[in-house]
Amino acid sequence: MTDSRSQNGHVVLVGAGPGDVGLLTLKGKDWLSRADVIVYDHLVGRNMMRFARDDAERIYAGKKAGHATLTQNAINALLIEKARKGKIVVRLKGGDPFVFGRGGEETQALKEAGVRFTVVPGIPSPVGVAAYAGIPLTHRDHSSTITIITGSNESGKEDIHIDWEKIAARTGTLVFLMGARKLPHIVERLMNFGKAAGTPVAVIQWGTTSRQRTWTGTLGTIVDLAAKEKIKPPALTIIGEVVGLKPIADWYEDLPLFGKVVVTTRAEEQSDSLIQMLEERGAEPFPCPAIQTIPPKDWAPLDQALEQLLSYDGIIFTSVNGVRFFTQRLREKDKDIRELKDVRVYAIGPKTADAVRGLNIRVDTVPEDFVAESLIESMGKENVEGKKFLLPRAAVAREILPDTLRKMGAAVDVAPAYQTVAPVTPDPEFLKQLQEGTIDVITFTSSSTVNNFMDRLDKDHHALLNQTTVACIGPVTKKTAEERGLRIAIVPEEYTVDALVSAIEAFYVK
């Protein structure tokens, strides 16, 4: 009897693009979010995994410095094995699966095994890396053809044969992939078959990422330059007159935060907008969540409040999480937003207000400054004496808002809608980069992110933190960070994530 689960197994070859997470296609992102198993390569950006489910099995199958974690035959067998267990398996590959990605071999093996598969193209590295390096691969005045060659298959007789004579004779653009170690050999062969020593050459390392570096020269100079600069993989080489257009078309390496590694400590589900803004400015975001939001230990206080929503004069949201968990529980209790039809709604901060408006609920009051004290000032003008308010919030939070409103004569029900917990251990990759001094900025967006982050580090790591630039979203977070021994370099005038990123940009522009 055939196992019905095995019939549903499915392998999806997804091209991840050349490095920048933003270059992942929408279809690739969708499959990644649905995957039960992800088999990924070395050049796939770590930030891309934020699109995956927390419970997805992740298997590294990368190749680094010529050493393969798994052989191609082993990878093929792994994909077949997981699919036959009824899993959705995403084979996440750098660039495009069918452009020197060995996707053809994998689909052949899957076809022979009777396993269903789908191919999702990705932006090939020659296209993406050249664009980020400011080098157009074609130009009406310089090149009307592109030749893409692998630079890593000249080690033995069984490797792909390269017709150097014909390649050297071509007048268009030549692109060599994976050829950093073979650069002297590539240059020698091209010049031996007549390619002029003055032909422009560019070598781009870690293209489309904040670690991108570009070296330009000619066939006659590039080998000495590569040796002097110790250029290592991953690197892509472009040869041809189009290289001379780089000063005109350059854009990525001129971004204000290009090359900066910025640690984000927000909860993972809240980090997308911050990460996107950093990437748009050329930074490399390093997600290191110091906080995770989960349901409260006891829903009873909020459930009781939901049963008597019409008894409240107002509801106060202090965070996007408060809105999210409140509405989630409202639905779980078979209620909807119509329960709030006669209740005034208050929100601290524009993001919180936007989350409320996204539910088609009008926000009555948003204070000028995005802190509790400013909301108290705004509500004081309304005369809250004798009125009753609901405050769905984190299980542990500052008491200044409910305490002050009570002193003003209001009744306030505080109902935990969620709680925050900290990861047990720090990210080993973060500790490694902190010790190497490659972290440029650490951002904190709440006091809880500061405390949770610091609690996971020992004293030696605390000292290293003050060798980096620390940015806090506002004065309350700054005060907490200073109490934990940190020196704060950046605090925006407006206490929002947008303003925080702008302040980091202004700091480096100066």
Whether 63 sits among the annotated catalytic residues: the reply is yes
Strands (E), 334-445: 344-347, 388-394, 411-421, 441-444
The CA distance from 67 to 60, in Å, is: 13
Q: Which of 36, 41, 413, 440 is catalytic?
A: 41
Residue 421 tokens, joined: 């917990």
Return the closest-CA partner of residue 38 out of 85, 93, 76: 93
Q: Which of 27, 29, 63, 335 is catalytic?
A: 63
The CA distance from 278 to 264, in Å, is: 10
DSSP bridge pairs for 63: 68
Decide if 321 contacts 394 (C-beta within 8 A): yes
Whether 478 sits among the annotated catalytic residues: the reply is no
3-state DSSP of 442-505: EEECCHHHHHHHHHCCCHHHHHHHCCCEEEECCHHHHHHHHHCCCCCCECCCCCCHHHHHHHHH
Q: Which of 48, 178, 379, 454 is catalytic?
A: 178
The CA distance from 314 to 376, in Å, is: 13
Decide if 91 contacts 31 (C-beta within 8 A): no
Calculate the CA dihedral of residues 487, 490, 491, 494 and round it to 10 degrees. Answer: -170
Whether 413 sits among the annotated catalytic residues: the reply is no
CB-based contacts of 157, cutoff 8 Å, min separation 6: none
The dihedral region occupied by 66, where left means phi > 0, alpha psi between -120 and 50, and beta the remainder, is left
Q: Which residues are catalytic?
A: 41, 63, 178
